[in-house]
Structure 1
């Protein structure tokens, strides 16, 4: 099979998995009870999230960069999305025609008056984009194609297409924001969000590369999955208050530091990466059953959609795990043949 055809399923998979993880996994959207509306939504959400996930991965892998760079780029694009495009980061009455009953409860307790931004929203929105919109989908799809995990997937035409798709989707969402929200962030807010996003993007390629992998003990992938699961549950269930925010940030920071520490060792494998990413998908897919979606859709359809998404997540993770096992078995056979 030509290399381009080998990469195509991975490109398509990430293009659609990213928006599903970003918008549908947690089950808050009005469309959760309408499968056809959810599919139609991917026409915008695919370019808005999937194209960005592909670009983040492409630029990082082409530059020989790893997960720290991917996370920083995810933060930059997450800030652009929440701060510049839909401006949910600054909007005190976000939702347009849809009433979001919990908006004030999540925004007001940690509102920084001088900036007009909630610290809780910063962590939820930007952190959520880093983890669920970009990093977890990239990790899962790379695990499905282990031989291509570190290689570029897009040529120059592909990069140009993704950039164009993203710009079109971003323009449509921004225009819809202007028409429905009747809100525009202040020039200071926009400039600050843009400047921080730019700094994160620059930092993604300025941080030093690791010189090599160290020896040492690495926990089993199951432990890494449980660690990520615990941290993300704490993050998701923490109250939208300053103590809750501190607890959430501490859980994410501790888990992130441990993952960074262990990933610098030679015994770290793609199985560990999949375990952490899989935990992120399972957390949101499970919590979706307890989330009350906007617009009061049929709860029968909501639970059917929740169940279908959960089964899809578990099936995808199982398939990715089997692909990794097959790749490792093939590599072991090659090593054994070379040594004989």
Structure 2
């Protein structure tokens, strides 16, 4: 059973970061069943991606690709929030809708899944178990069991949102999303065994300090979260503005990180700093999303736990 402890922690951390810490699940009688269902969806998805990546020696860039495909399946196929102009709680209407796709919502929610739902929880969990960081945590039976639970949860989400929203996107849009997700998955897994095992040669330049990495992740995430919160309810502008802002910040941060990780002195301190900056975004913006005194106090407790986790990981580093 001790062998499965990292799996259980990742099952919990993934929905905790993606939903609970962001303030999307209020403190009421529905919290436990909602969180358990999110474990079956987010948690098993994160475990599945992590186990595939470690078996194929994939880096975190490839993990993010798989996480992006995960987001496409959830938001494009299961909930269909990418296409529904009246998606519950979103209130965007036709703002940003072009060719049946909401291009204002898509960068935010897919970025959220790519980083906060999957990649960040995997990274944090692996830091808790440094000696088993690159090892698979599940055997074949566990992999199949986890995969089946994920598929059942994804299928259940499809029927749940069809019932809740009474909305179904056109078969063309659904087929396009499925095709794009499959192409991304195949591209992420296409590396040959030799290339995935190749050792990166450090560059000649020095990476910036961990504080710069932390602030970059914090500000980059703040722009992504802030754009979602400000447009169009607070700031009125054509939908192309928030889309281009999100696209620009995603490209900028991804470019900086891709350059930094090739520097000769890039190490765990820098990577943990990036993760800390990203996690602090959910801590901060969760206070804007959590409504009411009870939920604010609840979020404060969760935030203290998240900061405590970061402090522990920095102390152990």
Superposition TM-score, scaled by structure 1 size? 0.84
Contact preservation (8 Å) 2:7, 2:137? yes
Higher RCO by CA contacts (8 Å cutoff, separation 6 or greater): 1
Structure 1 residues 126-275: aligned runs within 5 Å: 126-206=110-190, 209=196, 211-215=199-203, 216-238=205-227, 239-240=230-231, 241-275=239-273
* Deviation >6 Å, runs of 4+: none
Structure 1 residue 73: deviation in Å? 0.2
CA distance in 1 between counterparts of 2:39 and 2:116 reads 14
Structure 2 match to 1:59: 52
Structure 1 residue 266: deviation in Å? 4.0
**Cα deviation code 1:142-166 (max 9, x no counterpart):** 1111122222111111111111111
CA distance in 2 between counterparts of 1:271 and 1:62 reads 25
Contact preservation (8 Å) 1:14, 1:50? yes
Structure 1 residues 6-155: aligned runs within 5 Å: 7-29=3-25, 32-34=26-28, 37-95=30-88, 100=89, 102-104=90-92, 108-112=94-98, 115-155=99-139
- Which moved further from structure 2: 244-253 or 54-63? 244-253
How many pairs were matched up?
Answer: 303
Contact preservation (8 Å) 1:87, 1:185? yes
CA distance in 2 between counterparts of 1:266 and 1:156 reads 37
SS at match of 2:135: coil
CA distance in 2 between counterparts of 1:81 and 1:252 reads 20
SS at match of 1:268: coil
Gap runs ≥5 in structure 1: 294-298, 326-340
Structure 1 residue 211: deviation in Å? 4.9
Structure 1 residue 292: deviation in Å? 5.4
Structure 1 match to 2:235: none
Contact preservation (8 Å) 2:108, 2:246? no
Gap runs ≥5 in structure 2: 232-238
- Which moved further from structure 2: 58-67 or 239-248? 239-248
CA-atom RMSD, angstroms? 1.8
Superposition TM-score, scaled by structure 2 size? 0.90
